[in-house]
Amino acid sequence: MEKINVAIIGSGFIAEHHCHAYNLLPNVEIIGISSLEEDKAKELMNKYNISGKLVKNYEDLLKIDCEAISVCVPNFLHKKITIDVLNSGKHAFVEKPLAKTVSEAADMLEAEKTSNCKIFYCENNMYAPSFRKVKEILEEGALGQIYMGRGKEQHSGPHSAWFYKQKEAGGGALLDLGIHDIACLVWYLDCDVKEVFCQIKTIIPDREKFGNCEVEDNAVGVLYFENDAQVIIEESWTAPSGYDMRFELYGTEGQVKVAPTFSNLMSVYSETGYGYAVEKARTTKGWTFPVPAESWSFGYPQEIAHFIDCIINNKEPLTNGKFSQKILTVVETMYRSSKTNKIEEVLYE
Ligand SMILES: NC(=O)c1ccc[n+]([C@@H]2O[C@H](COP(=O)([O-])OP(=O)(O)OC[C@H]3O[C@@H](n4cnc5c(N)ncnc54)[C@H](O)[C@@H]3O)[C@@H](O)[C@H]2O)c1
């Protein structure tokens, strides 16, 4: 089996999912981590038995001999770091959103073209088992023509201060959560979004230890697809009780409702509480809906395994740079609509 060496930039929330996913693959070795937080990086290295190099400056990591580097840093760093990774001759596994803006994304895709390396876009939801099952059912034609639907992601708000800052994040709940829904919906309907309408709001501006929330913490939008389907998306950072993600799709021959979280797979009532239920749930007391094998249910290991397979067998990933730019274009148009209060046409590059 061909051995693949990888490295990770960042040691925060999503970097841990990358560590876990790489560790499950017997032919993959993490040979380096770059992080501004040495303690957090050492913690990850101990937990996941990583014997590679720990460096503060990510440019030092680019000198290491490896095939791919995970870009697990705040959004405002995606463009520069991804371009540097590609130019150093490594594939870049870039977390969502690809970038803050479509213009930044265009520069990244240009670097991809000239570098001979690839952008692999980390859209884990498209690798999640429940969401993939929906795709299979749709591909069989079991629901007929999809004409309406709903996508939704909610939790109480992100875990780091940078998410709440316009300059660092580039956007709020729409960019952070809506990007997942839009990617899945474009994949499900297998056609592009033609027009959009969107309204955004910030309803909890004071985020205590994270400071002021400068971006929207709620967004509602309508996606008008080329096949005439109209789908509502609802994104929120103000919903306590843990990560809620779900789709409903309505077709001429049937319908599907899917929710890997808050599903009826398992419900627990506890007066004392227990260890962990699901990402961002503040309590495990009362009625809770734990997600077994959460990382697997959310598709992180399957996504990384697919990327490694693509490298070894020189295949195009399901979620490539071009796809991620398209999804970002829809998001950017939704921000435009929220300003003009009008339905806006999506103009792709
Ligand atoms: N796929 C998903 O569901 C998902 C979930 C969470 C986050 N993300 C994405 O992953 C990215 C990171 O988010 P997070 O939640 O891990 O954030 P985080 O705040 O938990 O971690 C950010 C990490 O980046 C590091 N960092 C910052 N600047 C750096 C630099 N110059 N060099 C090296 N390391 C640097 C920090 O030290 C920290 O370890 C974001 O783009 C976010 O949107 C994706």
Q: How many CB atoms lie within 10 A of CB 105?
A: 28
Closest approach atom of ligand 1 to CA 73: 24
130, two tokens: 């429940």
Q: How far is the CA of 280 from the centre of ligand 1 (A)?
A: 16
101-108 long-range Cβ contacts below 8 angstroms, 24+ apart: 101/170, 101/328, 101/332, 102/325, 102/328, 102/329, 102/332, 102/349, 104/78, 104/79, 105/79, 105/321, 105/324, 105/325, 105/328, 106/325, 106/349, 107/79, 107/83, 108/78, 108/79, 108/82, 108/83, 108/321
User: What is the third-level CATH fold of 4-123+300-320?
Assistant: Rossmann fold (3.40.50)
- How far apart are the CA of 158 and the centre of ligand 1, in A? 11
Q: Quick one: which atom of ligand 1 is closest to the CA of 57?
A: 32
pTM recorded for the entire structure: 0.97
Give nearest CA residue, ligand 1 atom 4: 14
Is it the case that residue 1 has pLDDT exceeding 80? no
Q: Report residue 251 as tokens.
A: 């077709």
Ligand 1, atom 18, lies closest to the CA of 12
- Ligand 1 pocket mutation pick from 8, 9, 11, 13 by most atoms within 8 angstroms of CB: 13
User: 């960019």: which residue's tokens?
Assistant: 175
User: What is the reported pLDDT for 16?
Assistant: 98
Q: What is the pLDDT of residue 265?
A: 85
- Asked if pLDDT for residue 249 goes beyond 90, the answer is yes
**Span 281-293, average pLDDT:** 93
What is the average pLDDT score of the chain? 97
- Letter string b/e over residues 296-322, b meaning 16 or more CB atoms within 10 A of that residue's CB: bbbbbbbbbbbbbebbeeeeebbbbbe
- Per the CATH hierarchy, to which homologous superfamily does domain 126-297+329-345 belong? Dihydrodipicolinate Reductase; domain 2 (3.30.360.10)
- Distance (angstroms) between ligand 1 centre and the Cα of 13 equals 6
- Closest ligand 1 atom to residue 16 Cα is 16
Annotated domain spans of the chain: 4-123+300-320, 126-297+329-345
pLDDT of residue 308: 98
Closest CA to ligand 1's atom 3: 124
> What pLDDT score was predicted for residue 346?
98
Q: Residues enclosing ligand 1, CB less than 6 A?
A: 9-15, 34-37, 40, 58, 72-75, 77, 95-96, 122, 124, 159-160, 176
Taking only the tens place, the pLDDT of each residue in 186-196 is: 999 999 999 99
Neighbours of 160 (CB within 10 A): 13
Residues 257-269 have pLDDT tens digits of 999 998 878 999 9
Task: Identify the pLDDT of residue 320.
Answer: 98
The residues, any chain, with a CB within 8 Å of residue 110's CB and separated by 6 or more, are none
Contact assessment for residue 233 and residue 220, using Cβ atoms and an 8 Å cutoff: yes
Residue 99 has pLDDT above 90, yes or no: yes
CA of 25 to the centre of ligand 1 (A): 22
Task: Determine the atom of ligand 1 nearest the C-alpha atom of 160.
Answer: 19
How close is the Cα of 22 to the center of ligand 1, in Å? 17
Question: What pLDDT, on the 0 to 100 scale, is given for residue 125?
Answer: 98
Could you read off the pLDDT of 31-66 as tens digits, one per residue? Answer: 999 999 999 999 999 999 999 999 999 999 999 999
Give the atom of ligand 1 at the shortest distance from the alpha carbon of 36.
37
**Is a pLDDT exceeding 90 seen at residue 229?**
yes
Is pLDDT of 290 > 90? yes
